[in-house]
Chains A and B, each alone.
Chain A
């Protein structure tokens, strides 16, 4: 005890000094550790189709992700962490995409992953993410097979599943007074899970409403020439043509209708006609007016972050607003969600993302989004129409930029 007291007395000042030093050191170390933690970037991994069949839309998605990263880092990152993207090329291959996401998660140990381009790649990629309990926010895989997996880690960042695209056109037509509604309808559709079901959903609703079906045929994707098919459509003289299309066949249908000199009162195309950058150059800019399609975003949208996105996009990539691909906006919206989750919860990890997005509503540049338990978006697409060479939202009225043109102008 004595020795102890002596020791204690003897060492008291030293202990104080040592304690102070230790405390100072501890503070320094703690401070350094916390600043290291703050500086540790938030790494988001993504596999994109930078080459191969989906190279163009894949690169558009890349621009959207890159733009959001630049945007969020300029604001100080996510919860003080700088955001870094790790992008790998999947060659548009559903096999390579599996390898890529497995490597991103297990080898590179990225903090989060976001989705690739197309449902074809999203299905296997989302399974990998699910296996490792990663959230899978994806902006370009909305086909039926994606949701049929019943994955609870997946969130499709568009207003609705692709097959519900045409609902807004049916809503619009059925909102018209009976005298203005079409009496007959034709449904020429591509044999494709993203195209034919859209037209078919509209057909069921139209038939219930008393609109007679005069043509309902599916053509294979390999059909080289749609002119004979559209000749058969024209021969039935439908008031409205509802085309379940992708891109190439949409262009071919329009060209064929022009050559056949058949002008329906209403022409709706599920896809292809909703691309401001591609459609006019493929069918001729003078021929687009009056054609309806569905969209989730347009350049003059006032949805949260939309105009900032347009401004930053043009500053970073140049070009004109009309040439911005929707895929870029959709990818940017995926980033907006990550940012919002961090703001609302003060955390950013996979479990938090999955839990957060399963409840509440989330404002993005695509509008306010929400999802069911399997990641199916619960909002509605916009009805867009070409007017004076520009693609404008025309329905629902609350978010419309312009009134719909009732009867399609004749081909010039």
Chain B
């Protein structure tokens, strides 16, 4: 029972970080209908930026989020302007998959050249520290801080989307782009901001990822497959769904690893994913397109 609860704790804490990563992914899909295969690469790029800020300037990885977030927002806007905006509207959804995959490879290549391919790890005074709770349950500080920062940022994202004019413009674009345009929403600009905002979420998750795990430029492949699974399980375009599925993936993987076997850990999550999709093809919190079966 002890090991089960320990696995549960680790799963929830890790799942919170996945939720933050996936929220950016699902936001981009919601606004632009773009399956952004470069999201994982941007998370890793943020981890490298955090690594550089820490090793070169001694900036704490959590403080560096204040620097990397606007930077990644700008990079996201630029990437949209250069790579996605020129796509023909009729083919944009399909082509965006190829374009964002190419973007992921570009980011990976640049990181490989800049940082080489050796694994990097951010080790500071608290990165390996933990405290014991109750009956000897270990709570690593980084996971706890990471979880709360992710939740806080998700609340900020929720506030921006629900309570601001910009957020209303995004939501209007998500629900009906043509009507939003007719009502005066500059959908091109909203899409650029939406893409930038989605990429900006990778800044914080990259900092936390870098503190939790060693990484190299190729780490984004494993990451993107998990992020896509989270987004599909939660429902494409649903931030609440991404949060729920992110925590679920963390818990299911973690509990399966401690109770059954590490071999089952990954498979268990995908079994859950398949079962959900069998009964709710739109994902847990997704909506069916009008006219769809």
Q: Are A231 and B130 in contact (CB under 8 A)?
A: no
Shortest CB distance B42–A (Å): 17
Say whether B119 contacts A278, CB under 8 Å.
yes
Are A229's CB and B214's CB within 8 A? no
Q: Are A222 and B128 in contact (CB under 8 A)?
A: no
Instruction: Determine the chain B residues whose CB is within 8 A of the CB of A235 once the complex forms.
Output: 2-3, 6, 258
Decide if B262 touches A220 in the complex (CB within 8 Å). Answer: yes
Residue B132 at the A interface, CB < 8 A? yes
Query: Would B226 and A227 count as touching, CB distance under 8 A?
Result: no
Contacts of A411 in B (CB 8 A): 128
As a 0/1 sequence over residues 29 to 70 of chain B, the CB contacts with chain A under 8 angstroms (1 = contact) are 000000000000000000000000000000000000000000
- B100 interface contact, C-beta 8 A: no
| Interface residues of B, dominant DSSP | helix
Q: Pick the residue among A53, A231, A251, A252 that contacts B6 (CB under 8 A).
A: A231
Contact residue among A53, A259, A282, A283 (Cβ-Cβ distance under 8 Å from B138): A259
- CB contact under 8 A between A255 and B128, given known A223-B265, A231-B3: yes
Kindly list chain A residues whose C-beta atoms are within 8 Å of the C-beta of B112.
55
Residues 279-319 of chain A, each 1 if its beta carbon lies under 8 Å from chain B, else 0? 00111100100000000000000000000000000000000
Q: Does B218 contact A (CB under 8 A)?
A: yes
Cβ of B111 under 8 Å from chain A: no
- Known contacts A232-B257, A232-B258: does B116 contact A223 (CB below 8 Å)? no
Residues of B within 8 A of A278 (CB): 118-119
**Residue of B138, B222, B261, B263 touching A224 (CB-CB under 8 A):** B222
Contact A232 B3 (CB under 8 A): yes
Q: A224-B226, A228-B258, A281-B123 are in contact. Are A56 and B116 (CB under 8 A)?
A: yes
The CA-CA distance from A228 to B3 in the complex, in Å, is 9
Partner of B257, one of A229, A247, A259: A229
In whole angstroms, what is the CA distance A221 to B138 when docked?
Answer: 25
CA distance A191 to B3 in the complex (A): 23
- CB contacts (< 8 Å) of B7 on chain A: these are 228, 231-232
Contact partner of A225 among B3, B14, B118, B263, CB < 8 A? B14
Is the CB of A248 closer than 8 A to any CB of chain B? yes
**Is B205 an interface residue, CB under 8 A from the partner?**
no
Q: Are B253 and A260 in contact, with the CB atoms below 8 A? A: no
| A258 cross-chain contacts in B, Cβ below 8 A | 128, 130
Contacts of B121 in A (CB 8 A): 251, 281-283
Residue-wise interface mask of B (260-283) relative to A, using a CB-CB cutoff of 8 A (1 in contact, 0 not): 011101100000000000000000
Residue pair A222, B222 in contact (C-beta under 8 Å): yes
Q: When the two chains form their complex, are residues A228 and B253 in contact, meaning their CB atoms are under 8 A apart? A: yes
Give the Cβ gap from A9 to chain B, nearest Cβ, in Å. Answer: 83
Q: What separation, in Å, do the CA atoms of A204 and B1 have in the docked complex? A: 30
Bound CA–CA A55/B108 (angstroms): 14
Compute how far the CA of A231 lies from the CA of B129 in the bound complex, rounded to whole angstroms.
Answer: 15
CB nearest neighbor in A for B132: A261
Determine which residue in A55, A188, A219, A227 has the highest number of CB atoms from chain B within 10 A of its CB, and name it: A227
- A220 contacts across to B, CB distance below 8 A: 262-263, 266
Let me know if B118 and A56 touch, CB within 8 A: yes
| Chain B residue at minimum C-beta to C-beta distance from A262 | B138
Residue B83, interface by CB 8 Å: no
Bits for A46-64, please: 1 = Cβ < 8 Å to B, else 0.
0000000101100000000
Number of A interface residues in the complex (CB < 8 A): 35
Give the residues in chain B near A287, CB-CB below 8 Å: 128
Q: Which residue of A lies closest to B2 (CB)?
A: A235
* Contact assessment for A55 and B263 in the assembled complex, using a CB-CB cutoff below 8 Å: no
A400 in contact (CB, < 8 A) = no
Is the C-beta of B206 less than 8 angstroms from some C-beta in chain A?
no
Minimum Cβ distance to chain B for residue A82 (Å): 32
Which A residues touch B2, using CB under 8 A? 235
The reply to whether the CB of A349 lies closer than 8 angstroms to some CB of chain B is no
Is A284 touching B128 in the complex (CB atoms < 8 A)?
yes
Query: Does the CB pair B119–A224 fall under 8 Å?
Result: no
A372 on the B face (CB < 8 A) = no
Question: B214–A248 contact, CB under 8 A?
Answer: yes
User: With A and B bound together, what is the CA distance between A191 and B214 in angstroms?
Assistant: 19
Give the residues in chain B near A248, CB-CB below 8 Å.
119, 214
A261 to B214 alpha-carbon distance, docked (Å): 19
* A207 on interface, CB distance cutoff 8 Å: no
Contact A219 B263 (CB under 8 A): yes
Interface residues of A in 207-235 (CB under 8 A from B): 217-220, 222-225, 227-229, 231-232, 235
Tell me how far the C-beta of A245 lies from the nearest C-beta in chain B, rounded to whole angstroms.
12
Whether the Cβ atoms of A283 and B123 lie closer than 8 Å is: yes
Task: Known A281-B123, A282-B119; judge A228-B130 contact (CB<8 A).
Answer: no
Q: Is the CB of A225 within 8 A of B253?
A: yes
Are B117 and A217 neighbours in the complex by a CB distance under 8 Å? no
- Report the bound CA distance from A260 to B258 in whole Å: 14
Q: Which residues 115-161 in B have Cβ within 8 Å of A in the complex? A: 116-119, 121, 123, 127-130, 132, 138, 140
Task: Report the minimal beta-carbon distance from A327 to chain B, rounded to whole angstroms.
Answer: 12
Query: Scoring B residues 207 to 231 as 1 if CB is less than 8 Å from chain A, else 0, what string do you get?
Result: 0000011100010001100100000
Alpha-carbon distance A227/B212, docked complex (angstroms): 10
Is B203 positioned at the interface, with any CB of A under 8 Å from its CB? no
A251-B118 Cα distance, complex, nearest whole Å: 13
Interface mask (B180-212 → A, CB under 8 Å = 1, otherwise 0): 000000000000000000000000000000001
Are A223 and B262 closer than 8 Å at their CB atoms?
yes
Docked complex Cα distance between A6 and B127 (Å): 106
A227 neighbours in B (Cβ, 8 Å): 10, 14, 140, 254
What are the interface flags for A173-200 relative to B under an 8 Å C-beta threshold, 1 for contact and 0 otherwise? 0000000000000001001000000000
Q: With A218-B262, A228-B253, A231-B6 as known contacts, state yes or no: A261 contacts B118, CB within 8 Å.
A: no
Q: How far is the CB of A120 from chain B (nearest CB, A)?
A: 15
Q: List 7 A-B contacts (CB under 8 A).
A: A56-B117, A218-B263, A220-B266, A225-B213, A228-B255, A228-B258, A260-B6
Beyond contacts A261-B132, A281-B121: 17 other A-B pairs, Cβ-Cβ < 8 A, are A56-B117, A191-B263, A222-B222, A223-B257, A224-B222, A224-B253, A225-B10, A227-B10, A227-B140, A232-B3, A232-B258, A251-B119, A252-B214, A261-B138, A278-B118, A282-B121, A284-B123
List the interface of chain A (C-beta within 8 A of B): 53, 55-56, 188, 191, 217-220, 222-225, 227-229, 231-232, 235, 247-248, 251-252, 255, 258-261, 278, 281-284, 287, 411
Leading 9 A-B pairs by shortest Cβ distance:
A219-B262, A228-B257, A235-B3, A228-B254, A259-B140, A282-B121, A258-B128, A259-B130, A232-B258
